[in-house]
Structures are given as structure tokens and as C-alpha cells.
Homo-oligomer: A and B are copies of this chain.
């Protein structure tokens, strides 16, 4: 990993009413939606919008594992920052770590592991230019 460029991107969003449940906090599965929003913005940031990876390269980023640890609840209308960090890459795989922050409070952290596949689900090597951008 190059020192010149940190493989990290932070996305800011607001908790939606829809994302709360009757506990009055953001429903636990929605953190994985926030991770996805942060991944999308990460790829845009390194100049490989995920929409282009799908459309132009015919590749998909299949999820093979996902986890989240919940420290403090997020509430409706909270502004949260989702840090998305590349924590590892393999031939066909990529691992992201996430931190969900409200100001300096860490609300949750998690990880997702993905494999690049073609549209029929066969694993594919990470394209050279994306691999380059991830360095």
C-alpha cells in the first residue's frame, strides 16, 4: 500500500426515519446498507465508480462475509460518518473495514469480504487498473 494515498474514504449521511425501529434506534441490518453506501463512495473516490465496474467491465462484487459490532445506537436524524478502509486484497477478493462515527463517538465497526465475479457468478481476478488504483 502506497504511503502517498491512503485507501480510506469517509462518507457522511443522515439516519432516516425509515431506518429506525420501535426501539427508537437505527435497526441493526441498516448498518450494512450504510457500509454499502460507503463502498460506493469509496470506489467513486478512487475513480472506479461501482456502477461502471458493473456496466463496463461486466463484473460484480459479491459479498461472501459481513459482520458488525454495535457499540452505541444511532438515532433518527443523526449525522454519521462511515469510514471505509481497504484492509486486504487477494487475487479476486477485497476486504473492507468500516467505522461508523457520530462526531468522535464510535457507534459501530464492521467488515465485509467480497469476491469479484462475472455475471454468472464465477470468480474473476481484480482488473489490473482497479488493482493499480488500490495500491
Q: Which A residues contact B (CB, under 8 angstroms)?
A: 14, 16-18, 20-25, 27-30, 32-33, 36-37, 40, 49-51, 60, 62-70, 73, 76-77, 112, 121
Contact = CB atoms under 8 A, between A and B. Distances in A.
A52 B101 CA distance: 22
Contact of A37 (B16, B30, B49, B65): B16
Contacts of A70: 62-66
Contact of A16 (B24, B36, B69, B77): B36
A66 B16 contact: no
Given A51-B77, A73-B121, A63 B28 contact: yes
Interface of A is mostly: mixed
Across the A-B interface, give the 7 residue pairs with the lowest CB-CB distance, nearest first.
A67-B67, A29-B32, A20-B22, A51-B77, A28-B63, A22-B24, A29-B29
Contacts of A17: 21-22, 27, 36, 40, 50
A66 B63 contact: no
B18 A29 contact: yes
Contacts of A33: 16, 18, 29
B40 A18 contact: no
Nearest to A27: B18
Nearest to A117: B23
